[in-house]
Amino acid sequence: MKVSTEEIIKQMEQFQNGQKLTFSFPAVFGGGRGIIGLNPQYPAKGEKKYVLKLGKDEVLAEKATPILTSDKPKHLAKWITERFGEQVG
C-alpha cells in the first residue's frame, strides 16, 4: 500500500518499543524490504532514535546493519517515499 511521507512520519511518532514499519521496493531500486524501527540503543551517547535497515527479504532486513539513522522521522520517511516504497502489512 502506497503511503505519503506525512503518513509514515505520523506512524513513526507513535512507535512503542518493538514496533516497526516494513516496506517493499520496486525492482528498479533493487527490490527487497526496508524496515524502520526504534533504535534499541537509543538514548545512549551518539545514538539516533530511528533506524532504517534493508535486505532482500524481511528476515535479512531485520538482521542487517542500519543504513540510515536519524532523530527526525522525516529524513527516513522521505527516503522511503522517494524510492516508491509500499508499506507491507
Residue 17 has pLDDT above 90, yes or no: no
pLDDT of residue 35: 98
CA angle, 50 as apex, 37 and 25 as ends, to 5°? 55
Q: pTM value?
A: 0.92
pLDDT-based confidence at 18, cuts 50/70/90?
confident
> Residue 23, class by beta-carbon neighbours within 10 Å (0-12 exposed, 13-18 middle, 19+ buried)?
buried
Residues 73-83 have pLDDT tens digits of: 999 999 999 99
In the block, residue with C-alpha cell 535479512: 60
The secondary structure of residue 2, as a DSSP letter, is B
Position 14 pLDDT exceeds 90: yes
Interval 30-63: pLDDT, tens: 899 999 999 999 999 999 999 999 999 999 999 9
pLDDT at 64: 97
pLDDT tens-digit readout, 60-74? 999 999 999 999 999
